[in-house]
C-alpha cells in the first residue's frame, strides 16, 4: 500500500467515482439555487434548501471518506482534508444542517 498512488486501488476508485457523481449533483443544485436567488424566483427559498441539504450531506460524506482513505494522515495538519471537514461542520452549524433544510423544504411546500 505504501509508495503506491492512492488511485491504483480499485475499491477506492469506485468510491471516488460515486463521490464525483454526487459532487456534480451538488454543484447543479447550488447553481440552480444561485440562479433562482439572482432572478428573484418565487421558489428561490425552496431551491436554496434543496441545494443546502444536498451539498451539506454530500460534502460531509465525501470529506469523511477522504479522511478514511488517507488514514491517520488525513486528520493531521499535513493535509487540508481535516480543515475541510471542520469547515463543513461549521458551515452546517451556521447555515443549517441537512435535517434543518429538509424540514424547511417541507414547511415551504405546505407539509
Residue 3 forms part of a structural domain: no
Residue 103 forms part of a structural domain: yes
Closest C-alpha to 48, from 90, 111, 96? 96
* 36-95 pLDDT per residue, tens: 999 999 999 999 999 999 999 999 899 889 888 877 776 777 788 888 888 888 999 999
- Return d(Cα 29, Cα 56) in angstroms, integer: 11
Residue 2 forms part of a structural domain: no
Task: List the domain range (segments joined by +) for residue 45.
Answer: 9-108
Radius of gyration of the chain (CA): 17
Residue 51 forms part of a structural domain: yes
According to the model, what pLDDT value does residue 38 have?
98
DSSP state of 78: T
Residue 4 forms part of a structural domain: no
Residue 43 forms part of a structural domain: yes
Number of separate domains in the chain = 1
According to the model, what pLDDT value does residue 66 have?
86
Cβ–Cβ contacts within 10 Å for residue 77, how many?
8
- Return d(Cα 78, Cα 109) in angstroms, integer: 45
Residue 22 forms part of a structural domain: yes
Q: Which CATH number does the domain housing residue 74 bear?
A: 1.20.140.10
Q: What angle do CA 77, 88, 15 make, to 5 degrees?
A: 80
According to the model, what pLDDT value does residue 7 have?
73
* 3-17 pLDDT per residue, tens: 787 778 888 889 999
Residue 15 forms part of a structural domain: yes
As a whole number of Å, the end-to-end CA separation of the chain is 51
- Return d(Cα 70, Cα 57) in angstroms, integer: 20
Amino acid at each position: 500500500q505504501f509508495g503506491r498512488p492512492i488511485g491504483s486501488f480499485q475499491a477506492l476508485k469506485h468510491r471516488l467515482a460515486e463521490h464525483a457523481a454526487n459532487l456534480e449533483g451538488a454543484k447543479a443544485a447550488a447553481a440552480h439555487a444561485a440562479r433562482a436567488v439572482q432572478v428573484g424566483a418565487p421558489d428561490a427559498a425552496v431551491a436554496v434548501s434543496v441545494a443546502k441539504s444536498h451539498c451539506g450531506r454530500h460534502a460531509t460524506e465525501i470529506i469523511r471518506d477522504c479522511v478514511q482513505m488517507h488514514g491517520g494522515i488525513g486528520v493531521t495538519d499535513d493535509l487540508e482534508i481535516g480543515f475541510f471537514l471542520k469547515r463543513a461542520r461549521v458551515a452546517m452549524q451556521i447555515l443549517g444542517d441537512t435535517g434543518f433544510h429538509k424540514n424547511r423544504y417541507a414547511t415551504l411546500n405546505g407539509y
